[in-house]
Amino acid sequence: MTTLEHGGPEILKLKKLAQAKRFDELEAAWIAAAESGDMSTEDVMIVLGVLVRQKETATAETLAWCLLSAWSERKGAPATLVAAKRIATALEGGSIRSETAELCRKVYAELPNRDTLIDMTVLREATPLAEALAEMELMAALPPGSFVRDRNLSAPGQVVGLDPERKALIVNIGGQERRYEGQSLGRLSAMAADDFKALLIFDRPRLAAVAAEDPERFTMLILREFGPALKFRELKAHVAEIIGESAWSSWWSEAKLRISRSPMIDMSSSSQPTFELRNRPISHAQYIRHQLDTAGNLDEKCARVFDYARELSAGAEADGEVVAFLDTELARAAGESKEGYVKVAVEAAREELARAAGRELAAPAVKLAEVIAGESDLSVMMTPATNDEVARCALSWARGQLGENWKPFFADILPGSPAAVCEWLAQELLAAGEGHRLAVSAEAVVGSPDRYPRAALWLWKAVTGSPKAAFAERIDGAAALNAVLAAAAVVKRTPPFADGEYVKKVAAMIRGALSAGKFEPVRVVLEDTSAERVGCLREVVQRNPGLTEILRNDLLRVFHHAHPKLFVKEVPAWQEDAIYTTAEAFGRQQEAFAHLVNVKIAENAKAIGEAAARGDLSENAEFTAALEERDRLTERATRMREELTKARILEPGSVRTDHVTIGTRVRAENVQSGQVEDFTFLGPWDAEPERRVFSYQARLSQAFMGRKVGEVVEFSAEGTNLNWKIAEIEAVV
């Protein structure tokens, strides 16, 4: 048999005959090769390509027609139609179109309305043959009821049938029947039979059936349409649209396990998981291994194992290799870890896995009694716990191991536990009548909130709850507030947790607890607390690095509302290291300093230079005077700079009027003359004695400082005694 592989000897001969335009010889050799069936479609296209480039289209079409006729008999219509589609990309003469139509009649012999479809597509000369064949293939795949998309429209359509008279495809789009014929057929493309949006419009009962029978496939349809990733509430909304809101809970309880084990869906392990469509399938065993490998810490590894154990308990089939892998990994991790809590969590997870898989637990990796004995301080044993559910499972296991000794153990570990776990421990202890132990643990938290920040958060909620927790009766609200504020600071400054994301989570929980109920718990506590203690708490808020600026300001407003007097600043009458001034006087002093430095000193420097230029400095009086002026100006500038750094501006609303102080105006009656006089006491830069504005540093001002309405001021000057009785005091700033 002659080989006609791509570029083989025989095809090279055909190419040379075509290039030499020896068409009679080419036709004879071509027919022989076609009838032998040894030419490939690629060989055919090489020779036809030579003829087309030589613009010998008629010859090329004749050879193509001969080939299709011969191959139809030898290879059959389906294989020949495949070759015809390739040829149609280069040639589309009438003979080729007719021969291709015959091939379609044979290939689609059982297709309803076959001849009409061929007339609409292949035999429509206005449509290029390659496009016509693509349309014919599309029409063959679109029986009535199938879904299509018009590239010019967003809504999907459903095929209704054919219009034989107009030779058009009838499609229902948006409730209207549209007819597609000729070139408009090219706008259509087939949609998947299970396209979610199309089924939603045209066949909702079928969608509901898929949801009930195959939740995994139903979820994949939703993710393909609206994903590839969705949050729990988003998936719920799409599902409920089909099955109804009331049916969601029962559907989810049945579907959850099947979706979680889907090779094509990545479902997170939280109570409200996220869902993402994978690019390629992953077996559930592979997924479980991957989850364990990528878990951030041992707490999260245990969480993955508990999740898998729950799947098994819900009826999923256990994979022996996966169970063995998980158990081995946990046992290894327990042996390597130095954290007592981690060892307990690992052993609890191993036992739960063995129970759910129906297997006997291998030898324990750790013994609880040894773990407890090895802890120097049980109060911080739970510090590594970052997953509340794992912690509860671990402690439930420990309780079963300890007998009656679980009670002191729970009380001892409570201070270092996460807030939610503290609440669970508290409920367990209270149910066992161990409120006295719980009270001791709570007092330990109040005493060292920087060691137990999460428990401080729990305690704040317990103390400010309604009704107040019985075990917290001995802890007042101010102590609990101080503890939670200290917790906010330590989590920001030196968090005891290694996981940065968990630190952010705890910090956010603390801030949320402080602002809960529009700060009502904080307000209630402050109103029931002495002003002195509130003042201390206010200082904690003001310097707390764990509060955002917005939260700090909001808290200070609550403090102000509860104890407004704490926010009235008493300005001292005289202070060695401060100069009190109004903003206006401070501005004037700054301008004077700037003028001194930028103008006066600059002018003096120029004068020194000019005097020096005159020569003989020893006899130069102008030079000497300029140097003396420089020293005077420099000394003055130094003094002004120091004074400006000591300035304290009197702020509006900061001046008390229950006694005379800086920033007040006093109306007083001269006891000797009976004349009413006004005195205004401000800083030295504000003083204008001629307008009766006096510096608070003056002797007269000092006589008035601290006096109240009704008191008599005594002042002696130049041997004369003067007395004034204060009638009114008002603020001037």
Domain coordinates in residue numbering, the chain: 9-107, 284-376, 407-567, 579-648, 664-731
Instruction: Please report the pLDDT score of residue 4 as a whole number.
Output: 42
Q: In whole angstroms, what is the distance from residue 639 CA to residue 633 CA? A: 10
Average pLDDT rounded to a whole number, residues 626-637 = 87
Please compute, for residue 491, the number of CA atoms within 13 A of its CA located in the half-sphere on the CB side: 30
Cα–Cα–Cα angle for 531, 535, 540, rounded to 5 degrees: 145
**CA 498, CA 502: separation in Å to the nearest integer?**
8
Which string of b and e fits 552-588 if b means at least 16 CB within 10 Å? eebbeebbeebbeeeeeeebebeeeeebbbbeebbee
pLDDT at 3: 40
Q: Quote the mean pLDDT of the chain.
A: 86
Position 619 scores a pLDDT of: 61
Residue of 401, 276, 299, 293 whose CA lies nearest to 351: 401
- For 580, the 3-state DSSP assignment is strand
Beta strand 265-267 with 176-180 is unpaired
CATH classification for the domain delimited by 664-731, as one of 3.10.50.30, 3.40.50.720, 3.40.630.10, 3.40.449.10? 3.10.50.30
Is pLDDT at 469 greater than 90 in this prediction?
no
Q: Which two tokens stand for residue 214?
A: 């195959």
The packing angle between helices 435-447 and 406-413, to 10°, is 20
656-693: string of b/e by CB count within 10 Å (b at 16+)?
bbebbbbbbbbebbeeeeeeeeebbbbbbbbbeeeeeb
Tens digit of pLDDT for each residue in 402-427? 889 999 999 999 999 999 999 999 99
Report the DSSP pairing between strands 647-649 and 579-581: parallel
Q: What percent of the chain has pLDDT over 70?
A: 95
Task: Compute, in degrees rounded to 10, the torsion defined by CA atoms 148, 151, 155, 160.
Answer: -30
- Cα 151 to its chain centre, rounded Å, is 36
CATH 1.10.1130.10 assigned to domain 579-648? The reply is no
The helix-helix angle for 320-336 and 284-294 (nearest 10°) equals 10
Neighbouring CB atoms inside 10 A of 278's CB total 15
Which residue type does 202 have? F
The residue-averaged pLDDT of 342-352 equals 87
Phi-psi region of 584 (alpha: psi -120 to 50; beta: other; left: phi over 0): alpha
Nearest-angstrom CA–CA distance, 333 and 365: 9
User: Which of 268-282, 552-566, 620-634, 671-685 reaches the highest mean pLDDT?
Assistant: 671-685
**What is the SS3 assignment for 367?**
coil
Question: What is d(CA 331, CA 636) in angstroms, rounded to the nearest whole number?
Answer: 79
The residue ranking higher by pLDDT, 59 or 365, is: 59
Q: Predicted confidence band at 6 (pLDDT cuts at 50, 70, 90)?
A: very low
pLDDT at site 9:
65
CA 21, chain centre distance (Å): 71
Which pLDDT score is estimated for 43? 86
pLDDT at position 281: 85
C-alpha dihedral over 150, 155, 158, 160, to 10 degrees?
Answer: -80
As a whole number, mean pLDDT of residues 54-79 equals 88
Does residue 2 surpass a pLDDT of 50?
A: no
Q: How far apart are CA 269 and CA 282, in angstroms?
A: 16
Quick: pLDDT tens for 422-458: 999 999 999 999 988 998 999 999 888 888 999 999 9
Q: Higher model confidence: residue 728 or residue 652?
A: 728
Indicate the DSSP class of residue 42. H
pLDDT of residue 367: 80
